[in-house]
Structure formats: C-alpha cells, structure tokens
Amino acid sequence: MTTAKQPAKPKQNAGAWVVWIFLGAMGLVCVGSGIVNRDSGDTTVPGPAADERADTVPLLVQAADSQGICYGWRLERSSGAEVSVGSNLGDGVPVTGDARCPRWVEVRARVTYTSASSESNDWATVTVSGSDDLDRADLWAVDAGLDRFGLDTDTFVDDPGWAICRAAVTLPLLVAEAGAAPPAATPTAGPGTPAGALPDAGSDFWRDRWGWLLATAGLLLVAALLITVGFVQRGRQQAAVPAGRTRGPR
C-alpha cells in the first residue's frame, strides 16, 4: 500500500514575520516623524542674514546723512528677547540712547511662533517709534505706510529677517511722505557694482508640515512593502500545493 504524500505545509511564521516588519517600520516612521516634528515645531525666530544686514546699513547711512534722522530696526521674540538690532550706526548698534542720534526713527517687530501641537496661530506685531521731537501722528502714518510695500504682519511671520530689513530701508521714504523730513538723496552705486536685491520673502509651509510629509511617505513605503511580501507568500503557498490528487492503494 502506498502512503499518500502529505502536501508541504506553508511556513507558520510567515504572517508573524509580516506583522513584525510592519511594526518595526511603523516604529521607525514614528521615531523619525517625532525627530523631524521637533524641528517643524521650533519656535525660534530667525533673524536677518549677514548679507541682508550688510546691505541695509549703508542705505540707512545715506538716508541719515541726507535727512538728519537716524534710522534703525529691532526684531524681538514674543518674550521681548532681542533677535536682531541695527541702525545707520552699524549692525548690532541700536538707534536709541545714542548721543549721535538726537532724532531717530525705529521699526520694531515682535514675532511669536507657536508649537506644532498648539491650536494658536503664529503672529507678529509691528510698530514704528521715534524721538520725542517727532509728531506722533507722523509716526503713525509711517507705521501704516508699511502695508503699501507688502510689509504686513503675515510677511513678518513668514520671513521676519527679510521683512525687518526691508521695513528699515523703507522708513526714510515714509518719513519724507509724512512731512517729517526732506526726501532722502537717491542712493548711488559705482559703475559695475549694482546693488544686490534682497531675497524674496519665504514661506513657513515646510517649517510647519515637512515632518508630516515625511511620515506619510514612510507609511506609503510600508504599504508597498507589505503588498510585495503578501504576493511573495501567496506564490509560495500555491507552489506548495500538489498539482493533482495523490494515488491510493490499488
């Protein structure tokens, strides 16, 4: 009597192997997402780049020499901590409290970034202040005029470093429009040395969302891996089943 050959049993640990791969991949995705989200939830306020400050100071020097008014900028965090300060006196030198600047105008921005887990939105406040001899109504007109140049609060939230430098070099024109000083002389540049344009304002889209995008990409990769493993295991199980019935005793 011939004993029928039993079909090979599929490996019992195939399903467990797939589950462990899934759990391991999910753990890596979650850990990576957590690390990235610490950056995406960063509340640090970036200041202007070195080249932006270097380009701003000479323009303020020319305006101050022409109008007899010192101009400066100040960028702060929500706590009031200083991020960047400068004036026609130099990068890092405030325009206030200096005997060389009895008349002065300063643009001040305070930017607040909230964490990724917070329901509150990022926000900014922008004010223009000046020495006591300047009319408060003129300073208010200068403050309101910043919006005409696209320097609203949203711009300061998106790229505070660029915005504060752009606002500082706009002050002389707005002060002249308000009648607080004569128009500033037109800045001149020598032949072959064109003034470089300030960079365009950026966006905080990636700062807020790139951690989630990375996590989503990881999940898609895990799904593709699981589908591939499923097809491979299915093929092995089908290959283990005999092609015909086994023959019994004659």
* pLDDT computed for residue 60 by the predictor: 97
The span from the CA of 218 to the CA of 179, in Å, is 59
* pLDDT computed for residue 187 by the predictor: 57
* pLDDT computed for residue 41 by the predictor: 54
Is 32 buried (19+), middle (13-18) or exposed (0-12) by CB count in 10 A? middle
* pLDDT computed for residue 250 by the predictor: 47
136 Cβ partners below 8 Å, 6+ apart?
A: none
The span from the CA of 148 to the CA of 69, in Å, is 22
Residue 142, CA atoms < 13 Å, CB-side half-sphere: 30
Label residue 25 left, alpha or beta by phi (over 0 means left) and psi (-120 to 50 means alpha). Answer: alpha
Instruction: Describe the crossing of helices 160-177 and 136-145 by its angle, rounded to 10 degrees.
Output: 130
Kindly state the tokens that stand for 31: 């850990």
Instruction: Please give the model's pTM, rounded to 2 decimal places.
Output: 0.60
Task: Classify strands 90-91 and 104-112 as parallel, antiparallel or unpaired.
Answer: unpaired
List the one residue out of 11, 13, 26, 12 whose CA is nearest residue 225: 26
The span from the CA of 143 to the CA of 125, in Å, is 11
- The one-digit pLDDT tens for each residue of the chain (250 residues) are 455 555 555 454 555 555 556 556 555 555 454 444 434 456 789 999 999 999 999 999 999 999 999 999 999 998 889 999 999 999 999 999 999 999 999 999 999 998 777 778 899 999 999 999 999 999 999 999 999 999 999 999 999 999 999 999 999 999 999 998 999 876 554 454 555 555 555 555 555 566 667 777 777 877 787 788 777 777 777 777 665 544 555 4
In the β-sheet with 82-87, what is the strand arrangement from edge to edge? 90-91, 82-87, 70-77, 104-112, 123-130
* pLDDT computed for residue 127 by the predictor: 96
List residues bridging with 73 in a β-sheet: 86, 107
* pLDDT computed for residue 210 by the predictor: 64
Q: Any idea which residue has 């070195």 for tokens?
A: 50
